[in-house]
Structure 1
Amino acid sequence: MTRLLRFIPLLLLALPLIEIALFILVGRAIGVLPTLGLVILAVVVGGFVLRQQGLGVLNRMRTNMQTGTLPGQTLFDGMLLALAAVLLIIPGFLGDFVAILLLLPPVRAWLYKTLTRNITVVQTTTSYRSASPSDATPPHINGPGTIDLDDDDWQRK
């Protein structure tokens, strides 16, 4: 893993060079105006994907929270869809290719399964715990969801 980390600066330097080379190759193959048209089309599609998929992910997260299921895969999908939209908005054919792959649900599912293979998700809940076992209920609480305050404990703004 540490060997891979050494190559990150080299990769960050190589990516713009690869994008420039792809612009030149595509420009030679189809011409300058169609190449620019593809770049503009990718920006428009990226903005549309960001808007549509973002709202869809928010709705799926809301549904997951209402049903009480963990929204892990939904959050991961949302993150990858946002990354795909950003890659489409940034000019470049390599980024567009990666973005198109990330837009495919089987690719996102495979990435999620691969990255979470060795991760165990533990669901926890929050609850009140008394400092001493003999004190079953904290002071000023009269039943579930009710907090009894004295006149000095609150103020109206």
Structure 2
Amino acid sequence: MLLAIPLLEIAVFVVVGGEIGVLATMGLIFATAVAGTFLLRSQGFGVARRIRATMEQGQIPGRDLVHGMMIMVAGVLLLTPGFVTDTLGFLLFVPQFRDAGWRFLRSRITIITPGGETRSRSRDPNVIDLESEEYTAGPRDDTPWRNDSSLNKPQ
């Protein structure tokens, strides 16, 4: 990714510069950076207000926090010179695109509230949740996994 994106950006610069000219290409890059700054400011403040309102209601603002992160990434992408990064940045400013990203992330995160309550969006059958009294760091006699010499013999 670190090599592919800059090479792709250079190729797009060459193609766009050949079609519309160097000065127009540079003007377009500057315009997308300015537009990104304004979008970051307006949508960022909106998300911050929604986060504050959600927290005042005593709820967890998971969706809005993820949207805020995506808006910050979008702003960085738009400030980075390049048409590929600008396209990705503008897509992140579209709420439907961010919602798709949130749906993807929502099933992969676990929320732990200040009271210690754990809420997970989906239960993975391969994950075993233990309470603090069910886990100890020291050896236990009642475990089937103790180091028993009869278990280590080849059969």
- Output the TM-score relative to the length of structure 2: 0.70
Task: Please state how far the C-alpha of 1:16 moved relative to its aligned partner.
Answer: 0.9
In proportion to residue count, which structure has more helix?
A: 1
**SS of match in other structure, 1:53:** helix
Structure 1: runs of 5+ lacking an equivalent: 1-10, 127-157
State the alpha-carbon separation in 2 of the partners of residues 107 and 118 from structure 1: 18
Task: Please state how far the C-alpha of 1:34 moved relative to its aligned partner.
Answer: 1.5
State the alpha-carbon separation in 2 of the partners of residues 27 and 51 from structure 1: 30
Q: Does 1:49 align with 2:39?
A: yes
Instruction: Flag as ranges the 4+ runs of structure 1 deviating above 3 A.
Output: none
Structural RMSD (CA): 1.5
State the alpha-carbon separation in 2 of the partners of residues 20 and 118 from structure 1: 35
1:36 matched to which residue of 2?
Answer: 26
State the alpha-carbon separation in 1 of the partners of residues 109 and 72 from structure 2: 23
State the alpha-carbon separation in 1 of the partners of residues 46 and 63 from structure 2: 13
Equivalent pairs: percent with the same residue?
Answer: 44
Report the residue type matching 2:75 in the other structure.
A
Task: Please state how far the C-alpha of 1:117 moved relative to its aligned partner.
Answer: 1.5
State the alpha-carbon separation in 2 of the partners of residues 67 and 124 from structure 1: 15
**SS of match in other structure, 1:121:** strand
Deviations along 1:78-100, one digit per CA (max 9) or x if unpaired, are: 00001101111110000001011
| Correspondent of 1:94 among 60, 69, 84 | 84
Task: Please state how far the C-alpha of 1:120 moved relative to its aligned partner.
Answer: 3.7
Task: Please state how far the C-alpha of 1:109 moved relative to its aligned partner.
Answer: 0.6
**SS of match in other structure, 1:12:** coil
**SS of match in other structure, 2:2:** helix
* Count of matched residue positions in the alignment of Structure 1 and Structure 2: 116
- Output the TM-score relative to the length of structure 1: 0.69
